[in-house]
Amino acid sequence: MFDNVGSKIKALASFFCWGGIIASVIGGIIVITLDEDLVWAGLAVIIIGSLLSWVSSFVLYGFGELVVNSAIIAGRLLSAVRAAIRLRHRIEARR
């Protein structure tokens, strides 16, 4: 459940982005079908809503990237620390 959290956050951001785009398109079509005078308003809902969904997903996706990269850095740091400890033990064993 808590493995690969960064990837899950990025997938959630993608889900919200596509969900918002789909909702904007459906909402825009509904506005357009209500009245012929609202065609431009419906197109504005489709375009602006889709753009806002896309842009607002940047923050959540970026946070997911930070989590993924932090896990990579932590893994590399742990490997470096283990290698340093092994080297220290070898040096101490030669004394």
Cβ neighbours around 11 below 10 Å, total: 13
The residues near 49 (Cβ < 8 Å, ≥ 6 apart) are: 20, 21, 23, 24, 25, 27, 28
Helical spans, DSSP H, in the chain: 5-34, 39-94
Q: Please report the pLDDT score of residue 36 as a whole number.
A: 87
The residues near 88 (Cβ < 8 Å, ≥ 6 apart) are: none
Burial of 65 (0-12, 13-18, 19+ CB in 10 A): middle
Q: Please report the pLDDT score of residue 49 as a whole number.
A: 97
95 pLDDT exceeds 80?
no
User: Is the pTM for the entire model greater than 0.85?
Assistant: no
| pLDDT bracket for residue 7 (50, 70, 90) | very high
12-67 pLDDT, tens digit per residue, is 999 999 999 999 999 999 999 998 899 999 999 999 999 999 999 999 999 999 99
69-94 pLDDT, tens digit per residue, is 999 999 999 999 999 999 999 888 88
